[in-house]
Amino acid sequence: MNKVGKILLIEDDRDFSESLAIMMRMRGYELVTVCGAEEAMEQIDGERFGLIIVDFRLPGMSGGEFLDWAHRHSPDTSTVLMTGCDRNAPEIESVKESGVDEILYKPFKIKHLLSIVENSLK
């Protein structure tokens, strides 16, 4: 059974991405996974997503830059940023101001991610 809304997961660590994808699919979520911002942009241009989950550090473009683009191209889509950065890092402060819905600080508990996903897709 699929939950309402498809999820786009953007994470360049393939093992981590696959682990998250398996756990979310086991709970009935429909998921598209990509490794970089360029692939994610192509996905957003072709499909509608209920939630975008993006890592902060991506090759070629930061997660913050990607979120700026995503908010312009898919303004009704909920967004979650995953980061290993310090909570008070200046780059994270600027992302907070850009309108990201949630920030997950690594390492995080899967239960916390699943709670955010559930609330975002209501």
- Does residue 12 belong to any structural domain of this protein? yes
Give the CATH number for residue 37.
3.40.50.2300
- Does residue 116 belong to any structural domain of this protein? yes
Mean pLDDT (the chain, rounded): 89
- Does residue 84 belong to any structural domain of this protein? yes
Residue-level pLDDT at 1: 35
Lowest pLDDT segment from 15-24, 46-55, 77-86, 108-117: 77-86
Whether 4 has a pLDDT exceeding 70, the answer reads: no
- Does residue 2 belong to any structural domain of this protein? no
- Does residue 53 belong to any structural domain of this protein? yes
Start-to-end CA span in the chain (Å): 15
Residue-level pLDDT at 90: 64
Contact assessment for residue 53 and residue 8, using Cβ atoms and an 8 Å cutoff: yes
Q: Which structural domain range is residue 102 located in?
A: 7-120
| Number of domains into which the chain is organized | 1
Residue-level pLDDT at 93: 74
Of residues 10 and 98, the one with the higher pLDDT is 10
- Does residue 93 belong to any structural domain of this protein? yes
Residue 95's contacts (CB-CB under 8 Å, 6 or more residues apart) are 56, 63, 64, 67, 81, 103
Residue-level pLDDT at 50: 94
Ordered DSSP codes for 55-120: ES--SSS-HHHHHHHHHHH-TTSEEEEEE-S-TT-HHHHHHHHTT-SEEEESS--HHHHHHHHHHH
